[in-house]
Structures are given as C-alpha cells and as structure tokens.
Amino acid sequence: MSLLDKDGVRVTVDDAVATVTLANGAKHNAQTPAMWRALTEAGRVLPGNIRVVVLSGEGPSFSAGLDRRAFSPEGIGGELAFHELARAGDEALDTRIAEYQEAFTWWRRNDLVSVAAVQGHAIGAGFQLALACDLRICADDARFAMRETSLGLVPDLTGTQPLVSLVGYARALEICATGRTVQAEEAERIGLANLVVPAADLPAAAADLAAALLAAPRNAVIETKALLRGASDRTFDEQRAAERAAQARRLRDLTGLS
C-alpha cells in the first residue's frame, strides 16, 4: 500500500513494515528542503501498527547529499538560497534549520526500529540520514563521507551525536574534519554498519533483518530500545532502576496485571 509519493520520497507499507524510498535516483537522491519536508511527512503518515521502517535509495547511490544548487546564487527553485538564509535573523535561521532537522529526527522513535539500506554514496546529508536510523545494512560498494567542513559548514542534520556514539569522539572528529571516504569494510569494522553484503543482496538482507526484528513481542522491543537509547545519559544506578521499572511493566503486561 502506498502512503506517500512526493518530492523524491515514496512510502509504502506491507503489514508492520514501512519502506521509505528516496526516489530520485537519476540525481543520486540529492536532497532538497522539499525532500526534507516529505521525509518529515513520511513519519507522520505511518500507521500505528508499523514496527520497522526500512530506508532505501533508488539508483546507484543512497544519497549523494545536499543538492548543490542550494549553494548557487539562484538556489533551488521555490526555496531560500543559502546566502538568503545567512541574512535571516538568528531566531528565523534557527527555526529554519530546526525544520530541516525534523526529517532526520523521527527515525529514533522508541515505537519503531529504523534500518538504512545503503548502497553507493552516502555523502553529507546522505550520511546523516543513514545515521538517523537505528541500524545500517550496507552494500559492499557503500561509501560514507561527511563533506560539510570542506564547504566551510558543519554537519547540522542530527548526525554528530550518533556518529560519536558509534565510533567515538576521536574517529568521528577525524572523519568529519578530513571529509575522507569511509568504505563499506571499514564502516563495518568501526561500528557504522551492522552488516555488509554484496550489492545484489542488499534488499533481501534488509527484508531478513526486518523479519527478525518483528519476531519479538512489540512492547518488549520498545522497552529495550528505550533502555538502550537512554543508557549513556544515566548513571549505572539510574540504569539499574530503569531496567527494574521496565521489567516490572513487562511482567505485569505478560500476566495481565497492567
């Protein structure tokens, strides 16, 4: 069932699995503010029974990053060019960037497990979109790079926190500051990728992972994700208490006492 098909984003649903596809493969799924608005809408239109969201990109690349027209004097038709954004007041600029970030935020919801299936290039905003997901399966031709610093910018689409969490501060700084390419084998070795498979096997591997994620009871997965996502912000004793509270809810639910 199709839920959305606009501005280079297509959303389809099959039972408890939703697939969000970046559908502008001819342009290597270059991202625009219109695409970000569509990605934000994608999160809003998902039915309540969806448990797993698979994010994929059509064509040879997952996403080659921001559409370079944004840096031109003309900008992207119908959108503010970057030089126009720069002239906005602090509050207006902050609000606009926050709107863009919404496209990269909902993938972390505790009631969903999100999986990025990455092939080819995942550059800049494309890298950050892959980082927005809980898990990443990569084709053996996947190439990650954070190129914002080479343009005099910073990664501002929610990618910095998950990158540090996955690979550590020193490696994250080196990847971002140099803008170098992280190839698939290294991505798996340093924890960016959960799995690397031949490119032809990527759709099947994503489907297999989605099926495995659906095997456990939904509420147990939700509680476990919440525990793991909050673990780094809690002390050991606080985490122990959170585990006890979550287990109490599960026991009461399983025995019909909730």
Question: Contact at 8 Å (CB) between 185 and 196?
Answer: yes
Whole-structure pTM value = 0.94
- pLDDT of the residue at 213: 98
Q: pLDDT tens across 24-75, in order?
A: 999 999 999 999 999 999 999 999 999 999 999 999 999 999 988 887 777 7
Q: Which long-range contacts (CB under 8 A, 24 or more apart) does 147-150 make?
A: 147/65, 147/123, 147/179, 148/124, 148/176, 148/179, 149/176, 149/177, 149/179, 150/179
Domains and CATH numbers, the chain: 2-213 (3.90.226.10), 218-254 (no CATH)
Higher pLDDT among residues 251 and 1, named by residue: 251
Q: pLDDT tens across 95-124, in order?
A: 999 999 999 999 999 999 999 999 999 999
Label residue 258 by pLDDT band (50, 70, 90). low
Q: pLDDT tens across 166-201, in order?
A: 999 999 999 999 999 999 999 999 999 999 999 999
